[in-house]
């Protein structure tokens, strides 16, 4: 946020982009992704990327540039920035997609028309961010995760979402090899939903009840 505010102060009216944010999959690189216990380096990279993208959106930047799209090196290559890709060109010429490709695709597919609305919480076990649809303001999305990398243990959590138009909300989980993630429905009880949250973010989508209803 301080960087974005400084940019707008120095160059008022000029859009501010965050560029070259990324993580190497190689544990020997100085730019290596933090490893989440029980997950591969590629999965950890993907998780840290979508967490970074979310943080960028809520920091006040106008755009985000990922570093980078495709590499051609083995995951264990120790050289800096050579294993940052979401895709890899394999020796046989085929392209391999890493988990991060699917996680970011899921984020774009579900939140592509949403804009940051409010940081609900950046304290405690679970951090919560709220997005709102740019054309349908009654459509809301929550982005939740445990802000840790040292453990990987689900936490039971309840969120007060207020009055929803439906009796269930959509929960979207980021999954390997699925570009739209995995969808399930969670019941709303007295304005609250209950779910398990861990280091990999999840999305919650629903429509708010119109005022006066």
Residue 14 scores a pLDDT above 70: yes
pLDDT average, residue stretch 160-186: 95
Kindly state the percentage of the chain with pLDDT values over 70.
Answer: 99
Residue 26 scores a pLDDT above 60: yes
Q: pTM, whole model, 2 decimals? A: 0.94
> Which has more pLDDT, 186 or 162?
186
Q: Which two tokens stand for residue 44?
A: 């950890």
Q: Are 174 and 102 in contact (CB under 8 A)?
A: yes
Q: Which two tokens stand for residue 22?
A: 């990324």
Q: Which two tokens stand for residue 49?
A: 């990327």
By C-alpha distance, which of 115, 145, 131, 171 is closest to 52? 145
Residue 158 scores a pLDDT above 70: yes
pLDDT-derived band of residue 163, with 50, 70 and 90 as boundaries? confident
Residue 72 scores a pLDDT above 90: yes
Mean pLDDT of the chain: 94
What pLDDT is stored for residue 153 in this prediction? 87
What pLDDT is stored for residue 19 in this prediction? 85
Residue 164 scores a pLDDT above 90: no
> What is the spatial distance between Cα 62 and Cα 68, in angstroms, rounded to a whole number?
19
What pLDDT is stored for residue 74 in this prediction? 95
What pLDDT is stored for residue 211 in this prediction? 64
> What is the spatial distance between Cα 173 and Cα 182, in angstroms, rounded to a whole number?
5
pLDDT average, residue stretch 109-138: 96
Residue 212 scores a pLDDT above 70: no
């Amino acid at each position: 946020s301080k960087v974005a505010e400084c940019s707008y102060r120095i160059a008022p009216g000029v859009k501010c982009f965050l560029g070259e944010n990324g993580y190497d999959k190689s544990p020997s690189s100085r730019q290596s992704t933090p490893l989440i216990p029980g997950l591969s380096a590629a999965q950890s990279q993907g998780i840290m990327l979508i967490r970074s993208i979310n943080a960028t959106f809520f920091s006040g930047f106008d755009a985000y540039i990922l570093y980078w799209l495709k590499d051609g090196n083995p995951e264990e290559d120790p050289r800096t920035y050579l294993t940052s890709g979401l895709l890899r060109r394999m020796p046989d010429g085929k392209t391999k997609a890493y988990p991060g490709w699917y996680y970011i695709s899921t984020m774009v597919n579900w939140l592509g028309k949403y804009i940051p609305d409010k940081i609900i919480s950046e304290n405690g076990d679970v951090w919560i961010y709220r997005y709102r649809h740019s054309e349908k303001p009654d459509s809301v999305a929550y982005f939740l995760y445990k802000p840790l990398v040292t453990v990987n243990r689900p936490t039971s959590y309840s969120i007060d979402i207020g009055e929803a138009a439906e009796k269930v909300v959509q929960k979207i989980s980021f999954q390997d090899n699925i570009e739209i993630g995995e969808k399930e429905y969670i019941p709303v009880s007295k304005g609250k939903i209950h779910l398990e949250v861990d280091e990999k973010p999840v999305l919650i989508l629903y429509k708010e009840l119109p005022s006066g209803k």
